[in-house]
Copies of this chain bind each other. A is one copy, B any other.
Amino acid sequence: MSELTRPIAEEARNGHRPRVVIVGGGFAGIHAARGLANLPVDVTVVDRRNHHLFQPLLYQVALAVLSPADIAQPIRSILRRQANAQVLMDEVVELDVAQRRVRLGSGAQLDYDYLVLATGATHSYFGHNDWEPYAPGLKTVEDAIEIRRRVLLAFELAERHMVEHGWHPPLNFVVIGGGATGVELAGAVSDIAQLYMRHDFRHIDPTKSRVLLIEGSPRVLGAYPPDLSAQAEATLHRLGVEVRTSTHVTVVGPGWVEAGGERIEAVVTLWAAGVQASPLGQMLGCPLDRRGCVVVDDRLNPPGVPEVFVLGDLAHLEQDGRQIPGVAQPAMQMGDHIARILAADLAGQPRPAFRYFDKGDMATIGRMAAVAKVEWPFKAHLTGMPAWLTWIVIHIFFLIGFRNRFSVFWNWVWTYFTFTRGARLITGDQHLPGWNHLEIQVDESDRGR
């Protein structure tokens, strides 16, 4: 553990309030900020966006169950009553670790005594950024709205095409990546096609859609125990999702995907395969792992900079020989830990080590099924409806404002009992990348329905 070069405890006794700059208003950043409410420090949260996002439910916005406002809340509102916190909607463009200063996109500079970096991760196309227009990923509200637009538009364009030509390009939806996001997206697309759209069209048959989930490794949900992976795959099969494991995607084009040597026509392709850390990590000049995450010790510091903390998905932290996963729970816990460390500094005590307390993890697979690896308060592997009920309770419980909790719950109840998706709006333009290609290229034998 490195030592602070400044006598923070002594300075604080002399009336200096340490300035804490937190970059990123995700789970880690918000938990860090709230945890500092009762310490004699001044907190500034900087985020490019004005809202905190409940990321685990973002796929439900993408697939038209929830509205963005159900799972997002202005960071300003979350911290409005915290007198020692302020929020700036801005972007950090420069880190000066030596001078303890960050420069923002607007030109303003913020001096800090402590810097907390929690800017998370974004999708990675493994060097193929040209694939992005053909296969959007899911990280922001805008991403979710774009995915929603594409999936809903595909059905509309097919119906329109059917009226004009008497046939339509096959409704193949391809999801690349079989982690939690990929499994959730595939299950939800299948739900839309099989359940929610069933009675809405007069010419096409949405239930004839195909959903393909492509995963490079031998099993889906690779971070879960093998029995839960197998269960997830079985559930996906039951929903009609074709799962192709050990299959590598080699090219993503407009309206098609090349995977395992085969070319697959795809009316919509979604990307859930790769993740890379926010570029802010590079500015630190500290060691990074291959995804760009900053390697930190168990005090959450990169080597040699005890006044800088890196949390959440941006951090690479090993515990018991395994890397702590980039999901919500560890991010929240790391955020909470910041207050403990700063309290120790202010008291002139040694900093407590961070230890991730794994309560488990879960992923939904379509309507009313899920897999859950429960670690606390008991150990269990849950599947099917019990896992799904656990999932729904936990996710509602952890939603930050009460209004959202209520509204989300209501939307779910409504959706699950009426089979009517509430937020099925198409906004933006009516262009689907690759549609023209599909209209022209599909040969007669392949023609849908």
The answer to whether residues A89 and B202 also contact, given A50-B152, A106-B160, A414-B403 and a CB cut-off of 8 A, is no
Contact of A202 among B86, B106, B404, B428 (CB under 8 A): B86
The answer to whether residues A142 and B108 also contact, given A76-B200, A403-B414, A410-B410 and a CB cut-off of 8 A, is no
- In angstroms, Cα B405 to Cα A414, docked, is 12
- In angstroms, Cα B426 to Cα A134, docked, is 25
For chain A, what secondary structure do more than half of its interface residues adopt (helix, strand, loop), or is it mixed? mixed
Contact of A160 among B90, B152, B418 (CB under 8 A): B90
Q: Contact check, B403 vs A420: say whether CB atoms are below 8 A apart.
A: yes
Q: Contact check, B425 vs A51: say whether CB atoms are below 8 A apart.
A: yes
Q: Contact check, B51 vs A426: say whether CB atoms are below 8 A apart.
A: yes
Choose, from A64-72, A270-278, A366-374, the stretch at the interface: A64-72
- In angstroms, Cα B208 to Cα A281, docked, is 39
State the number of copies, please: 2
Q: With an 8 A cutoff between CB atoms, is A161 at the interface?
A: yes
- The A423-446 residues at the B interface (CB cut-off 8 A) are 423-428, 430
- How many residues in A have their beta carbons less than 8 Å from beta carbons of B? 56
Q: Contact check, A164 vs B106: say whether CB atoms are below 8 A apart.
A: yes
Q: With an 8 A cutoff between CB atoms, is A231 at the interface?
A: no
The answer to whether residues A50 and B425 also contact, given A89-B160, A160-B89, A420-B403 and a CB cut-off of 8 A, is yes
Q: With an 8 A cutoff between CB atoms, is A163 at the interface?
A: yes
Contact of A72 among B414, B425, B428 (CB under 8 A): B425
Which chain B residues lie closer than 8 Å to A426 at the CB level?
A: 49-51, 89
Which chain B residues lie closer than 8 Å to A199 at the CB level?
A: 80-81
Q: With an 8 A cutoff between CB atoms, is A145 at the interface?
A: yes
Q: Contact check, A69 vs B422: say whether CB atoms are below 8 A apart.
A: yes
Question: Least Cβ distance of A129 to chain B in Å?
Answer: 19
